[in-house]
Amino acid sequence: MNLTKNNQIPERKKIIASVKRVVIKIGTNVLTAESHQLDTSLMEHLCQQVCWLMAKKKQVIVVTSAAIGAGMQILGWKKRPVKMEKLQAAASVGQSRLMRFYERIFREQGYNVGQVLLTKDIFESKSRKANALAAIETLLSYKIVPIINENDVVTTDEIRFGDNDFLSAMVFELLNADMLILLTDVDGLFDADPKNNGKVNLLSEVNSISDHHIAIAKRGTPSSLGRGGMISKILAIKKVLELGGVGLIANGKRPWVIRDIFLGKKIGTIFIPKRIKWTGKKGF
Ligand code: GLU
């Protein structure tokens, strides 16, 4: 594939330019600093880029993590609890803190936000799914930014997603979105686990997820604050590809990551399906 002097892939740029509805999931490790505090200046930077996208007439749905992380910070808990009721308490405390920041940041840019807390069982019931869809579509029609998280406070083992990667793939499907961006604390999918290997190469474009990709992703370890890890991201993207959508995994701490993705710069790992559902083609 030919690169231009700006390090842009023309095909990637065209595909991304044609995206109308994008789900952006921001992981706990992106939203929290080393000290495990919420990184509000990074949140601000990311939200400003979401507004930039909205000004370009893209519809953006944010899936946020970090409720439990924020709650742990407020409660002074250094280690992620194991007991469900303590996780629920942390999520309850943290979710409102998280929303307070989103609400303030977006309001300063002239946008309102709507909190949407979902559980897995909603996706298993036709009528509840239809209700959730109608509510989110209405938010979007008023240019209100839906800020989605799992409703950790009321989830039990049986009805929990467990990680927001899978939740964001379900939201992608529900909303018939075009693209899912997973922002995490690594640059994308590597040919080996970057946390344990010195020399690894970033895979910049993947067209289908093979057993090899799954094996690489499985070697990545989930962090102490978030859940998931690379394997849940790859499985979420696999679902997106099966639906004909475009996926992208990138480092959410990289300055201007969202803006640069939409400028077509070669960032992270892009996953392009064999047939892009809104063009019927692979590429253009
Ligand atoms: N729903 C969890 C939270 O807000 C995040 C799950 C995840 O880390 O993917 O803390």
Please state, in angstroms and rounded to a whole number, the distance separating the CA atoms of residues 6 and 4: 5
152 C-beta closer than 6 A to ligand 1: yes
Tens digits of residue pLDDT in 171-221? 999 999 999 999 999 999 988 766 666 678 899 999 889 898 888 888 765
Type and span of the H or E element at 90: helix 84-108
**Of the residues 227, 231, 232, 233, which should be mutated to test ligand 1's pocket, given the most ligand atoms within 8 Å of the CB?**
227
Q: Is the CB of 71 under 6 A from ligand 1?
A: no
Beta strands in the chain (DSSP E): 21-26, 59-64, 113-118, 145-150, 179-184, 205-206, 246-251, 269-271
Instruction: State if residue 226 touches ligand 1 by the CB under 6 angstroms criterion.
Output: yes
The model's pLDDT over 123-168, given as tens digits with 9 standing for 90+, comes to 999 999 999 999 999 999 999 999 999 999 998 777 788 789 999 9
Rounded to whole angstroms, the Cα distance separating 66 from 183 reads 13
Task: List the domains of the chain with CATH numbers.
Answer: 10-271 (3.40.1160.10)
165 labelled binding-site residue: no
The answer on whether 193 is annotated among ligand-binding residues is no
Q: What is the pTM of this model?
A: 0.92
Residue 15: CB atoms within 10 A of its CB come to 23
* CA 72 – CA 80 distance, rounded (Å): 7
